[in-house]
Amino acid sequence: MRKFFSLIGKMLAGLVTFFQVAILLLFIVIGVVALSGQQRVVPDSGALVLSPAGRLTEQLDGNTLDRVFSAYQGVADTQALVRNVIESLQRAASDDRIEAVVLDLNGFAGGSMAQLQRVGAAIDDFKESGKPVIASGNGFTQGQYYLAARADEIYMHDLGSVFIEGFSYYRAFLKDAIDNLAIDVNVFRVGEYKSFVEPYLRNDMSDDDKSAAADWLDALWLAYRIDVESARELAPGALDVYVDTSGELLAAADGNTAVLAFQAGLVDELVSHQQFEDYMIGLVGESVDAPGFYEGIHYLSYLSATSPAKVSDSDASIAVLVASGNIVDGVAPPGTVGGESLADLVLRATTDESIAGVVLQVDSPGGSMFASEVIFDQIEYLQASGKPFVVSMSGVAASGGYSISMLADEIWAQDTTITGSIGVGAVVPTFQRSLAKLGINVNGFGTTKLAGQFDPTRELGPDAKRLLRLSVDSAYDIFVSKVADTRGMSYERADSLARGRVWIGSTAYELGLVDKIGSLDDAVASAAALAGLKEDGYKVRHLGMELTPAEQFILRLAGGMMKISAALNLPHSEPSALDQAARMIEAQVQQMSVWNDPRSLYLNCDCSVR
């Protein structure tokens, strides 16, 4: 009987593998067909189609196949590199073949406020060329509309809507679930604002976390509102009115969300798909290969078919390294910051004689303290070489993300960067009560008083708790002392800015936690100046970020899948309410999977915004 069921199991496993391979091959065939219709040569006259699929990111994560599956299923889990979007706009501005930019945002899933502002600034820079920017969408979510607002004209389908709701900060609190599962989560922290441990201790948000989060969350919404109202020439406060009185405004528009957006001045015209195609044909011409459609080229195809507008002849370069994602111990794929992985990149930049300076772009909420220290040590070695080291903070550079930044000769942040969260926490779960419910009892003895006190199948011992408490206190003291030393302030001053509190970039600048407000380009230019290089006397090298041809193919394949799902009217961009709830819980649980610090000490900020 066992052999029979074993045979059945093997047959089922084989069938599953067969269907997985078959489906993957089908996806690839569909993707090749989709991509074959994309222009591989820049047309003599046409539009640059800026249609980023998924969320903006500073670094593509390592799971490229998931992007293809997600795109085919219409789930906006694909990613768009910020630098690709910006670079395509920069090249197109001086390219006479590109007559306009079309913001096709149907598959776009947003990004951090800092990332949106960088792309928005690049759109503004493109408009200085005198070429028009046209936005088109079936409707616009909040992130989509931020970019659309920068366009000269916004066209939306007459059944669409502009959905803007403001920013929110919600997390799944797991205390009751942990109690029901009879798990003991032992938490040690320094800093009343160090809130990443709260979901394991509480069923709601603490007052300290609420008060601190209100400051930076309100600052994000203010920045969004000001930017959009300015771009659309709306009256100050118009977006607040649109959001807060949406029910009354929609009733006055007879329930028609498209008319509401038009009446509020958020869109310029309501059109069908073909009406928009006809308008663009009149603007840039009709496609030679696809009659009835305007002539255009996808921004990724455009990048692959063109060269940078300006490349220095100098051998000197400024290296740009990216620290994106949670910081973990050891080696990690892109999208996660491995302590050893990033330290190796820093070492490469240090020993490469053609590299005159280094910029570290940080987009990380932190993580392992040990991994952060490994990176910190390697940065010290870099600075000892005499090469300037500059940090550019993206959407978030908090806790461990701040720790790996603070040695910089200059720290650049954006007004809407989320930073700070200088504090330490330790989380050690034990499962003796859950095992007891299953009738499993652990018993035995050790050779010393401490032996077995850290065993997760037993209650955390008193000596173990004391060791962890002392370690956390010491780790906090080390963190704050380094902040004081690197930022040139007293320990007391650094401590008053720490305690785990999160700061928005503009406030962090006023407090002395960052040096300057500006973009990645500003940070690169500053590093070059510190290295004594002239404005046109260096190249920019992205270490560890170059995509292989296979990765570029998969990225374009994911974009093709997103276009197919949209054409077939498959659901996309916004997950269902149930999906959102499941993802919130999954994200909280998955957070524990990256906790691999050898001492269980974490510099982490749970400061995600929706």
- Choose among 514, 118, 529, 58: nearest CA to 318: 529
C-beta atoms surrounding 156 within 10 Å? 27
**Residue 574 included in any domain:** yes
Q: Beta partners for 248? A: none
Pairing assessment for the beta strands 355-364 and 317-324 based on DSSP bridges: parallel
Highest-confidence range of 8-17, 127-136, 446-455, by mean pLDDT? 127-136
Q: Which pLDDT band, with edges at 50, 70 and 90, does 566 fall under? A: very low
Please tell me whether residues 84 and 7 are part of one structural domain.
no
Instruction: Tell whether the model's pLDDT for residue 578 goes beyond 60.
Output: no
Q: What is the pLDDT of residues 396-423, one digit of tens each?
A: 999 999 999 999 999 999 999 999 999 9
Q: Three-state DSSP class for 358?
A: strand
Instruction: Tell whether the model's pLDDT for residue 38 goes beyond 50.
Output: no
Q: What is the pLDDT of residues 79-96, one digit of tens each?
A: 899 999 999 999 999 999
- pLDDT of the residue at 66: 52
**Residue 370 included in any domain:** no
Please tell me whether residues 3 and 101 are part of one structural domain.
no
Instruction: Tell whether the model's pLDDT for residue 354 goes beyond 90.
Output: yes
DSSP category for residue 334: T
- pLDDT of the residue at 5: 45
Which element (helix H / strand E) includes 356? strand 355-364
The range of the structural domain enclosing residue 54 comes to: 27-167+214-308+550-594
- pLDDT of the residue at 24: 55
Residue type, 330: G
Tell me how far apart the alpha carbons of residues 418 and 161 are, in angstroms, rounded to a whole number.
30
- pLDDT of the residue at 209: 87
Please tell me whether residues 4 and 128 are part of one structural domain.
no
Q: Three-state DSSP class for 586?
A: helix
| Structural domains of the chain, count | 2
Highest-confidence range of 176-185, 414-423, 599-608, by mean pLDDT? 414-423
Q: What is the CATH number of the domain that holds 112?
A: 3.90.226.10
**Residue 226 included in any domain:** yes
C-beta atoms surrounding 352 within 10 Å? 15
Phi, psi dihedral angles at 351 (to 5 degrees): -90, -15
Please tell me whether residues 135 and 249 are part of one structural domain.
yes
Please tell me whether residues 74 and 93 are part of one structural domain.
yes
Instruction: Tell whether the model's pLDDT for residue 74 goes beyond 50.
Output: no
Please tell me whether residues 32 and 13 are part of one structural domain.
no
- Choose among 404, 411, 410, 413: nearest CA to 379: 404
Maximum alpha-carbon separation in the chain: 85
**Residue 249 included in any domain:** yes
Are the beta carbons of 28 and 82 closer than 8 angstroms?
no
Q: What is the pLDDT of residues 132-141, one digit of tens each?
A: 999 999 999 9
Q: Three-state DSSP class for 518?
A: coil
**Residue 471 included in any domain:** no
Instruction: Tell whether the model's pLDDT for residue 591 goes beyond 60.
Output: no
Please tell me whether residues 37 and 22 are part of one structural domain.
no
Please tell me whether residues 1 and 113 are part of one structural domain.
no
Residue type, 489: M
Catalytic residue numbers, as ranges: 194, 399
Please tell me whether residues 121 and 32 are part of one structural domain.
yes
- pTM (two decimals): 0.84
Tell me how far apart the alpha carbons of residues 200 and 174 are, in angstroms, rounded to a whole number.
5
374 vs 207, 321, 343, 381, CA distance in Å? 34, 16, 7, 11
Tell me how far apart the alpha carbons of residues 52 and 146 are, in angstroms, rounded to a whole number.
14
Please tell me whether residues 60 and 20 are part of one structural domain.
no
Q: Which two three-digit tokens encode residue 183?
A: 């798990």
Instruction: Tell whether the model's pLDDT for residue 344 goes beyond 70.
Output: yes
Looking from the CA of 114 toward its CB, the CA atoms found within 13 Å total: 29
* Ramachandran sector of residue 151 (left: φ over 0; alpha: ψ -120 to 50; beta: rest): beta
Cα 269 to the center of its chain, rounded Å = 32
Cα 272 to the center of its chain, rounded Å = 33
Q: What is the pLDDT of residues 473-514, one digit of tens each?
A: 999 999 999 999 999 999 999 999 999 999 999 999 999 999
Q: Residue 503: CB partners within 8 Å, gap ≥ 6? A: 216, 418, 419, 420, 497, 511, 513
Q: Show the 3-state SS of 199-219.
A: HHCCCCCCHHHHHHHHHHHHH
Percentage of the chain modeled with pLDDT above 90 = 68
Q: Which pLDDT band, with edges at 50, 70 and 90, does 171 fall under? A: confident
- pLDDT of the residue at 71: 46
Looking from the CA of 584 toward its CB, the CA atoms found within 13 Å total: 18
**Residue 512 included in any domain:** no
**Residue 127 included in any domain:** yes
Tell me how far apart the alpha carbons of residues 23 and 29 are, in angstroms, rounded to a whole number.
10
- pLDDT of the residue at 381: 96
Please tell me whether residues 7 and 93 are part of one structural domain.
no
Phi, psi dihedral angles at 605 (to 5 degrees): -125, 120
| 79-83, 241-245, 547-551, 571-575: range with lowest mean pLDDT | 571-575
Q: What is the pLDDT of residues 99-129, one digit of tens each?
A: 999 999 999 999 999 999 999 999 999 999 9
**Residue 290 included in any domain:** yes
Q: Residue 93: CB partners within 8 Å, gap ≥ 6? A: 125, 126, 128, 129, 131, 309
Please tell me whether residues 72 and 15 are part of one structural domain.
no
Q: Which pLDDT band, with edges at 50, 70 and 90, does 565 fall under? A: very low
